[in-house]
Chain A
């Protein structure tokens, strides 16, 4: 499943555990974020399986805080097509509320569907849409 990570940090979009899109701010520590995100993928999978046959609606798409560790928090979101969005934010950003995270994921999801609508985009490719980049950048600037 492709994954999508966003943090304050980084945003990574996953699909079948394969990263579709990775963006982090600042640019360093990217490897560290990758590690965190990969570990969080396990948590995501666990939550998905826990949901089981639950009706998948948008509310449940948002997985919430996967686990807070040390100085960062990881949030997860999964779409109906099992595309996972993972967002890692610094714990120092205590101003980030749950609703904000939800709205960010919603925006991400919207942008992702826009990318999907592009007939020239082959699902599974890395996302190179400039509009998508712009949206993520603006989101991360807002977070940091």
Chain B
């Protein structure tokens, strides 16, 4: 642009305006936001404003630099004075009055203008410059055309004051051409000197009249929520904007806005309310949304698939682009489906949009899916933060590499499907450490004559275990210690693998019991892990399992106390962590379904362990009674378990010893079982059983001698819990497998990096 010569008054005024607009002090003003409001306040026709922006080069640059801003202001003055907009007019028009910005501008600016104008300009020209408010609507169009929602958001939020305040404005978004809101046309730029709410309500009135005949959905939702709510809804956004932008301007808007006194009072009242109010969902609205949700998806905890939601929201006759944006905002976990909270947020946004409020760029806190409680919609302030945070973890796991989209999908769904708890992470966590659960589930399954699922699982786990043997039994051991089943201690009774098991158990224990906390990274087999630490974990698990027995996650009904400070609990606990643990989980779960059956397995392990560790035998003996009843109930399971335990025993010899000790007291079948399964196929297990006849013999003997009394008591509960655990364990298996694979991937990447480094070192000159 040509050099811009400004008078001193102009210079000062412009720099003040620029500082005002440059709220972030970046020396350049975004093309939206305050600049647009400013221009709108200039009450120029929208095309003029558009032209001004083009002339000053802001559209080209995308933002207003100081020079562009000054040029724009100058052009505004030119336009307001009635001169044609030309680039040359910037400097050629002499004695130009300062650009006058009305309405949306601050008193300060008005004062500035007044002060400046008083210096030299002809004030009389100003009044002539101020066109009637309808011009603002046009200005809005301009702003809309300039950019998408964002500028309008601020603009419209300013505007909402007008609808409430000045009848001409009516629903702020009415001028927007692309808005198809049926209510708007009526409320559009018609100047009605009604009370502020008047024009605003008229659209509703019309909508209501039309709603009776209109779409069931969309018409429905205007009447149900009382107008007061909508009023507040409408008012609050302006209020908030006023708060941020021109708190004083509301009251200062006289002229046409005198009517707004009542509404202004409302606004002022609302101004005092929290900033989230504009987007807060009132109870009636919420109830309406919930009812609408039910029509699509009767299960309030379920999802609305994307296609159904698309149909539903398309009925609102909003443009696809806006609906797409609304979806982006409301689908918090990006899973292509809407939960109840997401649906309410989306609905709320649609309603807001139809009422003329621009869509925010990011989801307001009050609309964030509340994982805590549906009724907490009123307490937006604190919860959104939590929800947002808790929601984000849910998103974080899902936002894995694109190569694992399925997994990404499952995580959020898992999170959502589990009751809308504030805890997001725990959901996946609960899944993972459920080797024990799987064992239990499988055991219960077998107990309930579901041998088929069990066997495949067992077979599968055994196959996997074979594959994962490379990862060493250590991993199995840790994998087996799914949840803090104290019975896992028995798993770790294998003396051979005590050391390994310890490490594994530790990792697993870190994972399993923490149903409500993010699982610690599965500790890889590390010889440095001390048994004591793993044992502690087991102890922790046992405690937690007991506490969580109520069904926190895949905790077996009977909390296996893990008083045993032996290593077994630790290693066993850690086992499930590894990917192999997944297999072991599956293998152990059946075994663990009935606690007693688990004990049977454990006792087997313990038996084996006993052969290696004397102290285990005591535990085994203790556990046998518990195990026996279980095994009696499910012979196949027991046989499998035996087989599995044999395999596991091999791995967990070391761990089993301490595990047995601890297991003696705990009815749960700890992860060792899954590990065992993983290690060997059933067939192998059986032969191994033969190998470990001594253990099995002892075990069988013990089992046989035990009555099944204790089992029957817990069986009812266990059956229910087993089924739950079964499902959870399958998820856990997959999750563990995933974690294992990811770990392997990491390892490989590390190796690659190290190799690359070496390569670089060897060829220093190749990189020049």
Contact = CB atoms under 8 A, between A and B. Distances in A.
Interface in B306-326: 306-307, 309-310, 313, 320-321, 323-325
Given A58-B403, A106-B401, A117 B361 contact: no
A130 interface: yes
Contact of A129 (B324, B402, B403): B324
A110 B402 contact: yes
Interface stretch (A16-24, A43-51, A118-126): A118-126
A113 B149 CA distance: 23
Nearest to B361: A130
Contacts, number: 56
Given A128-B321, A130-B361, A118 B328 contact: yes
Size category of the A interface is 10 to 19
Interface in A53-85: 57-58, 61, 79
Given A117-B336, A118-B324, A130-B325, A61 B405 contact: no
Chief secondary structure at chain B's binding surface = helix
A110 B325 CA distance: 17
Contacts of B323: 120
Contact of B327 (A58, A61, A106, A118): A118
Given A120-B320, A128-B324, A130-B325, A58 B401 contact: yes
Contact of A109 (B309, B331, B402): B402
B123 interface: no
Contacts of A106: 401-402
Given A130-B328, A130-B361, A117 B306 contact: yes
Interface string B114-151: 00000000000000000000000000000000001100
A42 interface: no
Nearest to B753: A99
Contacts of B310: 119-120
B192 interface: no
B353 to A, nearest CB: 14
Interface residues of B, number: 25
B334 interface: yes
Interface string B518-537: 00000000000000000000
Contacts of B341: none
A131 interface: yes
Interface string A96-139: 00000000001001101110011111000000111100000000
Given A118-B328, A119-B307, A121-B324, A113 B405 contact: yes
Given A106-B402, A130-B328, A117 B334 contact: yes
A58 B408 CA distance: 15
B606 interface: no
A58 B402 contact: yes
Given A117-B331, A117-B335, A119-B336, A57 B324 contact: no
A114 B307 CA distance: 15
Interface in B426-478: none
A57 B401 CA distance: 11
Contact of A57 (B325, B403, B408): B403
Contacts of B402: 58, 61, 79, 106, 109-110, 112-113
Interface in B259-310: 306-307, 309-310
Interface string B332-375: 00111000000000000000000000000100000000000000
A130 B697 CA distance: 68
Contacts of B399: 110
Contacts of A130: 148-149, 325, 328, 361
B327 to A, nearest CB: 5
A120 B306 CA distance: 8
Nearest to A108: B402
Nearest to B308: A119
B302 to A, nearest CB: 17
A26 B317 CA distance: 37
B151 to A, nearest CB: 12
Contacts of A109: 401-402
A88 to B, nearest CB: 21
Contacts of B328: 114, 118, 129-131
A131 B330 CA distance: 12
Nearest to A128: B321
Contacts of A120: 310, 313, 320, 323-324, 327
B306 A119 contact: yes
Nearest to B756: A98
Nearest to A131: B328
A120 B321 CA distance: 8
A61 to B, nearest CB: 7
A67 B528 CA distance: 48
Contacts of B405: 113
B309 A119 contact: yes
B766 to A, nearest CB: 15
A110 B761 CA distance: 34
7 contacts: A61-B402, A117-B335, A117-B336, A118-B306, A120-B313, A128-B324, A130-B328
Interface of B: 148-149, 306-307, 309-310, 313, 320-321, 323-325, 327-328, 331, 334-336, 361, 399, 401-403, 405, 408
Identify the 10 closest CB pairs spanning chains A and B, nearest first: A119-B306, A58-B403, A120-B324, A119-B310, A109-B402, A117-B336, A114-B334, A120-B323, A118-B327, A131-B328
Given A58-B403, A131-B328, 14 more contacts: A58-B402, A106-B401, A106-B402, A110-B401, A113-B334, A114-B328, A117-B306, A117-B336, A118-B327, A118-B336, A120-B313, A120-B324, A130-B148, A130-B325
